Amino acid sequence: MSARTDVLLWAQRVVARKAAAPYMILEIAAGAGLDVAQEAFRKIARMAHPDLHRTVLSADELELVTTAYARAAAAYQEIRSQRAPTTRMQVMPDAPEAVPEATPGPRGDGRAPVVAGDLPVNPAQAMTSKALLYYRKAEIALRRGDLTGALLQLKMAIASDPQSQLLRSALVEVQSEAKRR
């Protein structure tokens, strides 16, 4: 028999087994392990994957093979999901919380000392999430060359976070660029 005939006979067998158990579709023993199921599915894939037969089969035959292959893939997936061991996450031991260090002594202006944990790591952390959203939109507008759009977005960012010096300096830069044009 030719490969074409083998594939079509296999597809007819699989399609005829409408309510068959997954092991029957993969043509393996009922209690077979995951390795056996994987090997059976790989054998089916090498023999009957629809992409291998697109040029040889008619449209109806290709539809039959595709349907059968889909059922085989679903059967393999069902066996995998039933028998695959679940991975359990290990419980992480509680780490003692790091105490942020304070700069020694009071400040000259009478305010509390600066805590190292309060300092932002980068400028994006120096603003609220809503202000950051507007800031990113302003960056996109600048990349497009839309200075008025960038000005609007920066003003909205400042309205969202009036304390941000980064936003104010960015606004000044964009305003000076807009005046030059």
Phi, psi of 115 (to 5 degrees): -95, 135
In degrees and rounded to multiples of 5, residue 162 shows phi and psi of -65, -15
Tens digits of per-residue pLDDT, 57-82?
Answer: 899 999 999 999 999 999 998 888 88
3 state SS of 115: strand
The CA distance from 84 to 89, in Å, is: 16
Give me the chain's average pLDDT, please: 80
Tens-place pLDDT, residues 11-45:
999 999 888 898 899 989 988 888 999 999 999 99
Listed in order, the ranges of the chain carrying CATH 1.10.287 are: 3-83
Instruction: Quote the CA–CA distance of 78 and 75 in Å, as a whole number.
Output: 5
| Second CATH level (architecture) for the domain 3-83 | Orthogonal Bundle (1.10)
pLDDT at 98: 52
Residue 153, pLDDT score: 92
Query: How many Å is the maximal CA-CA distance in the chain?
Result: 94
